[in-house]
Amino acid sequence: SLRLGIVFGPKPSLRSCGPAPAPHPRFAMSRRVVRQSKFRHVFGQAMKADQCYEDIRVSKVTWDSSFCAVNPKFVAIIVESGGGGAFLVLQVAKTGRVDKNHPLVCGHTAPVLDIDWCPHNDNVIASGSEDCTVMVWQIPDHLTLRSITDPIVVLEGHSKRVGIISWHPTARNVLLSAGSDNVIIIWNVGTGDPLITLDELHSDLIYNVCWNHNGSLICTTSKDKRVRIIDPREQCIVIEKEKAHEGARPMRAIFLADGKVFTTGFSKMSERQLALWDPKHFDEPMALQEMDTSNGVLLPFYDADSSIVYLCGKGDSSIRYFEITPECPYVHYISTFSSKEPQRGMGFMTRRGLDVSRCEIARFFKLHERKCEPITMTVPRKSDLFQDDLYPDTPGPEAALDAEEWMGGKNANAVLVSLRGGYIPPKNRELKSAKRNLLDNKPPLGPRRSYSTCESNFSRVSLEELLDEVKSLKVIVQSQERRISELENKLSKFTNGTA
């Protein structure tokens, strides 16, 4: 019938249908599922137990800082200490169990809240404390046998605890500190004098401060939910954003290499968020992502050479990492490194300290309750040759400016070094300053000075031999004191005529 012919009739040929219509652009774009990126397969791996730092009493202070600072030479960790504040300094290469009597850096009279290594001298570290002071320390290459108690410089100017410490990225001896008095002070550490005091720009507690790539601007977040971009030399706010994240929990903000701002915070529903902002158009974020409902503050760590941001939440057991690109959607999730134990803090190694032979692009130092565990981020490559695309020239330890030049309005990008063959530090590099530089002075010898001139081959065996010798000398001294006492008694009886 006609009805059956319509239902079961032959299908028309392709030629009779004409050319196929072009797919909608939306579906055409969806065919490209995988984004092209050399960092798409980055993976994290925790070091083995013998390459960790064991028996460390990590600080339990309730402050949202990383509690750990790392450079190619040393690992510094804020630890529990009775009768004041202290942090532990270990050589990066010396892993394993840490002796319970290991010397500390302990000059503060209250708990230490933040520490930061100087980017232009791997032996200089600054610390901020609840005792309202900032101290700058010089750490010898061969760690001492006694605790270091005398700082090179003590910076006093805050009226409340100092919870944020940050060195200038390109200018020598310029250090920023921020306290709970809502004041930011920028110091010339070489002379011990304050250069700039910003005491009227924040009306509430400052959560974090970050320099931009050349140190001409700083970015701050505070309890009033505002992100401020500040010109410190002009002492003015360039631009600010109200309620960048609407939640009441602390925010973090960092500058990216191109001048954009990356923030982490919380929504009204206490969901953790990340956002990317263009300071030229601060009204709306370029990208905004909601992550989860955990309470831990997300600490962002940024690698400018790879444009990757790593997010480490305090109390989390994972590290999420994202690649930042100029193309929409700008923030691309790569992967997550997960482990079993929650992290109390996190240290981030500079590029100069990475193992280029293993294609390592980042290394973290995860703080547990009683240990520090290194975690490496690696790009899988089959070739054993140096990977130029992974390791562009990176900021080295040489400063581009002096403090006086920076205060005079001069800006300069970081002096770059090559990592080909592994970074080799220059020999006998000295700090230079137009004025008297306190960091150039070698520690004077004295009974209270904790610096040691022992050689690197000073082993534990020789130390035990010295201790045994000291014990035997004590026994000899005590026996001689008894003999002298007996002779004095005999002499007194003889002179009195009783003998």
pLDDT digits (tens, 9 = 90+) for 329-384: 999 999 999 999 999 999 999 999 999 999 999 999 999 999 999 999 999 998 88
Mean pLDDT, rounded, for 190-208: 95
| Distance in angstroms (rounded) separating the CA atoms of residues 4 and 10 | 11
Mean pLDDT, rounded, for 226-239: 97
Give 438 or 485, the one with higher predicted confidence: 485
What's the pLDDT score for residue 499? 54
User: pLDDT at residue 197 above 90?
Assistant: yes
Query: With contact defined as beta carbons under 8 Å apart, do 94 and 144 qualify?
Result: no
What's the pLDDT score for residue 2? 37
Q: Is 249 exposed, middle or buried, given 0-12, 13-18 or 19+ CB atoms closer than 10 A?
A: middle
Nearest to 57 by CA among 104, 107, 9, 126: 104
User: pLDDT at residue 434 above 50?
Assistant: no
Q: How confident is the model at residue 426 (pLDDT cuts 50, 70, 90)?
A: low
What's the pLDDT score for residue 91? 95
What's the pLDDT score for residue 385? 86
User: pLDDT at residue 5 above 50?
Assistant: no
User: pLDDT at residue 129 above 60?
Assistant: yes
Query: With contact defined as beta carbons under 8 Å apart, do 264 and 310 qualify?
Result: no
Question: By mean pLDDT, which of 5-9, 50-54, 111-115, 352-356 is the weakest?
Answer: 5-9
What's the pLDDT score for residue 466? 80
Mean pLDDT, rounded, for 187-204: 95
What's the pLDDT score for residue 450? 38
The pTM (predicted TM-score) of the whole model is: 0.79
Angle value at C-alpha 434, between 215 and 169, nearest 5 degrees: 20
Q: How confident is the model at residue 9 (pLDDT cuts 50, 70, 90)?
A: very low
The per-residue pLDDT of the chain, averaged, comes to: 86
What's the pLDDT score for residue 457? 45
Question: By mean pLDDT, which of 56-60, 210-214, 436-440, 471-475 is the weakest?
Answer: 436-440
Query: With contact defined as beta carbons under 8 Å apart, do 299 and 311 qualify?
Result: yes
Q: How many CA atoms lie within 13 A of 291 on its CB side?
A: 25
What's the pLDDT score for residue 474? 84
Query: With contact defined as beta carbons under 8 Å apart, do 266 and 247 qualify?
Result: yes
Region of 282 on the Ramachandran plot (φ > 0 left; ψ -120 to 50 alpha; else beta): alpha
Question: By mean pLDDT, which of 67-76, 245-254, 478-487 is the weakest?
Answer: 478-487
Q: How confident is the model at residue 453 (pLDDT cuts 50, 70, 90)?
A: very low
Nearest to 141 by CA among 433, 425, 345: 425
Mean pLDDT, rounded, for 129-150: 93
What's the pLDDT score for residue 226? 96
* pLDDT above 70 coverage of the chain, percent: 84
Mean pLDDT, rounded, for 233-254: 95
* pLDDT above 90 coverage of the chain, percent: 70
What's the pLDDT score for residue 471? 81
Q: How confident is the model at residue 467 (pLDDT cuts 50, 70, 90)?
A: confident
pLDDT digits (tens, 9 = 90+) for 270-300: 999 999 999 999 999 999 999 998 889 999 9
User: pLDDT at residue 20 above 50?
Assistant: no
| Distance in angstroms (rounded) separating the CA atoms of residues 102 and 285 | 48
Question: By mean pLDDT, which of 89-98, 164-173, 280-289, 415-424 is the weakest?
Answer: 415-424
Give 82 or 423, the one with higher predicted confidence: 82
User: pLDDT at residue 82 above 60?
Assistant: yes
Question: By mean pLDDT, which of 9-13, 235-239, 492-496 is the weakest?
Answer: 9-13
Give 37 or 363, the one with higher predicted confidence: 363
- Using CA atoms, how far residue 306 sits from 41, 93, 256, 344, 398, in Å, is 13, 25, 11, 26, 21
